[in-house]
Chain A
């Protein structure tokens, strides 16, 4: 199977005058094309750091990252990064928020503009194109943020607890919603979360990290026998509880 992302022996530490805080030790894993992987771990264990490394915002102290077989620095692959908050700009309309990435990467053409319109249409935001972000609900804003990422046609999506700022009900529907959008677009995705049920309902595989400094404790493949494998259906499936308990136990055992 083709690998979109490959991490080998990644180490990372934060430095302050008070000293060094190791965040990640010896992280290695790979992500196949079209695969959805969740990473769970105790809070503050360095999950977000991992995504920042993959997005190239930080540089690992040791180890290597390959995207589509090429080293991160030489890679031309677009990596989409969805942040915890939607970060939509109030001084722009929804449409011009969505094309922000295209603007920055000088990719604004008739074709990409059309794609932005199409995506907004497809995911129910057509009539909000000229609205300001504050006029939208939390769920719609998060969808707009996802479209802003998707319009750059990334091969790999990084999701940094993108639903944690939403209230519980919206979170379930938006999680379902966005999970299905990502599947439909055939994207590979890496989701970081501390919400176990979210991780299980969305992913093909769950990677469990230990506390800081984070290392990989275990990888658990998720297999659901469902006719329609959607996040919401998964939550009702009998396997869900089994996986939940398994991961819960794994997270809470001391080394």
Chain B
């Protein structure tokens, strides 16, 4: 390390400083948000009965940790979300590849995809229950339905915007369309696939929660509905929305880790 020039050392120092500022600022924003919330709730600026407060959420969360009921609900929703997320990724990559292979197919299906994507999926959830019953399958399908069409469209778009020169190169090297797919289109779409995954994990969660609202006996969506009903009867706080944030993080983190690895 000693043989670094002064300029390089200065650069590295600046870099570390930059990283530190980013990290500290992130934490500060979170802390000040929590602090202002708690402060406002305690001093009566906002009605803590309706808006709750960080300390109450923490207390409630702690209570659920103690009786371990939170793990059941978290686990169920996590399982459903991950499963529907994986299915969405697999289906949308396969569909986007099929559409890319056949421009005829993509031209034929284009209006259908646009219409299906713009359907109000949450309105479909009650129908799903009628069709599939109040089971886990319904909830997973509900989770998928929110994400899958948009995911196909955005992946297909990124496939078609691959540099035509690179595809021509494959043909000049004696390759066919399959080679163009595996050597150019898929590798160059990895950033698009990852950003697509980031959007989809959130959408799948939304869909799963909607499904759980209507057709579940466990999971976070059920917990929200249950609590808001209990709130009406007995005045227990709604706090589960807060928990949702903490739930979303592990899944998000997993994607970021995958991304870093690549």
Q: Which positions in A face B, CB cutoff 8 Å?
A: 55, 57, 78, 80-81, 83-85, 87, 89, 91, 100-101, 103-105, 148, 152
Q: Report yes or no: A81 in contact with B187, Cβ–Cβ below 8 A.
A: no
Chain B interface bracket (under 10, 10 to 19, 20 to 34, 35 or more)? 10 to 19
Which of chain B's residues have a CB closer than 8 A to the CB of A101? Answer: 173-174
Which of chain A's residues have a CB closer than 8 A to the CB of B163? Answer: 87
Given the known inter-chain contacts A100-B183, A104-B179, A104-B183, please indicate yes or no for A89 contacting B173, CB distance below 8 A.
no
Smallest CB gap from A56: residue in B:
B171
Q: Report yes or no: B170 in contact with A57, Cβ–Cβ below 8 A.
A: no
Q: Which positions in B face A, CB cutoff 8 Å?
A: 163, 165-166, 168-175, 179, 183-184, 187-188, 190
Question: Is the contact region of chain A dominated by helix, strand, or loop, or is it mixed?
Answer: loop
Smallest CB gap from B169: residue in A:
A87
Given the known inter-chain contacts A89-B184, A91-B188, please indicate yes or no for A104 contacting B174, CB distance below 8 A.
yes
Shortest beta-carbon distance from A74 to chain B in Å = 15
> Among B169, B179, B187, B190, which residue has the most Cβ atoms of chain A within 10 A?
B169
Smallest CB gap from A90: residue in B:
B188
Q: Report yes or no: B174 in contact with A78, Cβ–Cβ below 8 A.
A: yes
Q: Report yes or no: A81 in contact with B172, Cβ–Cβ below 8 A.
A: yes
Q: Report yes or no: A152 in contact with B187, Cβ–Cβ below 8 A.
A: no
A77, B174: Cα distance in complex, Å: 11
Smallest CB gap from A84: residue in B:
B165
Given the known inter-chain contacts A89-B184, A89-B187, please indicate yes or no for A104 contacting B166, CB distance below 8 A.
no
Q: Report yes or no: A104 in contact with B173, Cβ–Cβ below 8 A.
A: yes
> Among A78, A91, A103, A104, which residue has the most Cβ atoms of chain B within 10 A?
A104
Q: Report yes or no: A87 in contact with B174, Cβ–Cβ below 8 A.
A: no
Q: Report yes or no: A87 in contact with B166, Cβ–Cβ below 8 A.
A: yes
27 pairs from A and B in contact (CB 8 Å cutoff):
A55-B171, A57-B168, A57-B171, A78-B174, A80-B172, A81-B172, A83-B165, A83-B168, A84-B165, A85-B165, A87-B165, A87-B166, A87-B169, A89-B166, A89-B183, A89-B184, A89-B187, A91-B187, A100-B173, A103-B183, A104-B173, A104-B183, A105-B173, A105-B174, A105-B175, A148-B173, A152-B173
Given the known inter-chain contacts A83-B165, A87-B166, please indicate yes or no for A57 contacting B172, CB distance below 8 A.
yes
Shortest beta-carbon distance from B221 to chain A in Å = 40
A55, B190: Cα distance in complex, Å: 30
A83, B171: Cα distance in complex, Å: 11
Smallest CB gap from A80: residue in B:
B172
Smallest CB gap from B175: residue in A:
A104
